[in-house]
């Protein structure tokens, strides 16, 4: 990604997606592209799309994560099985009384911390699935710590679970 103006990402001899590196990273066409680019890799969470007049959300077991208003999901249907893609850097330690617009606040219990110097990778469970967040080094201090995490849903990816293509 650091050397190219354009990337052609292939899978099994077929072009999966092509374009500028940041376009592929920010708007992956499939779970393959999303999982291939980025380190640590994107978190994928199975859920169902809930479509109502004026608002859409992804339901992950007992947790509902609203998508930002105006998010275009094409002809996706209510109840459709999806994979929600969340990059670790789009999960941050909460600061302030309320989450920013387009963010969802989640109460998490840290299960694992991997310090890397200026950053720490913190793993917690979200709706029964392990999720990794890339946090500032001192945002968490120990496993078992309870923290609030803001999830940037403006940066979330939503994929059809059957085809693994972006919605």
Distance CA 74, CA 82 (A): 13
CATH number of the domain at 129, please. 2.40.50.140
Residue 120 counted as domain residue: yes
In a domain, 104, yes or no: yes
| Helix, strand, or coil (residue 144) | coil
Span 75-90, pLDDT tens digits? 899 999 999 999 999 9
Higher pLDDT, 34 or 97: 34
Domain residue limits at 8: 1-38
- CA 41 vs CA 85, 89, 106, 130: distances in Å: 10, 10, 21, 13
- How much is the pLDDT for 2? 75
pLDDT tens readout for residues 58-72 = 999 999 999 998 888
The helix (run of H) or strand (run of E) holding residue 43 is strand 43-52
Please count the structural domains in the chain. 2
Residue 57 placed within a domain:
no
Residue 99 lies in a domain: yes
In a domain, 106, yes or no: yes
């Amino acid at each position: 990604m650091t050397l190219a103006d354009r990337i052609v990402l292939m899978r099994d001899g077929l072009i999966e997606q092509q374009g500028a590196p940041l376009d592929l990273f920010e708007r992956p066409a499939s779970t393959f592209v999303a999982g291939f680019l980025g380190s640590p890799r994107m978190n994928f969470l199975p859920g169902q799309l809930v479509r109502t007049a004026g608002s859409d959300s992804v339901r992950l077991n007992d947790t509902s994560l609203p998508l930002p208003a105006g998010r275009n999901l094409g002809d996706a249907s209510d109840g459709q099985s999806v994979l929600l893609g969340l990059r670790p850097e789009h999960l941050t330690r909460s600061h302030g009384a309320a989450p920013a617009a387009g963010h969802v606040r989640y109460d998490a219990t840290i299960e694992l911390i991997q310090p890397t110097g200026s950053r720490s990778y913190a793993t917690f469970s979200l709706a029964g699935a392990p999720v990794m967040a890339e946090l500032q080094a001192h945002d968490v201090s120990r496993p078992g710590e309870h923290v609030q995490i803001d999830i940037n849903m403006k940066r979330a990816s939503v994929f059809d679970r059957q085809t693994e293509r972006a919605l």
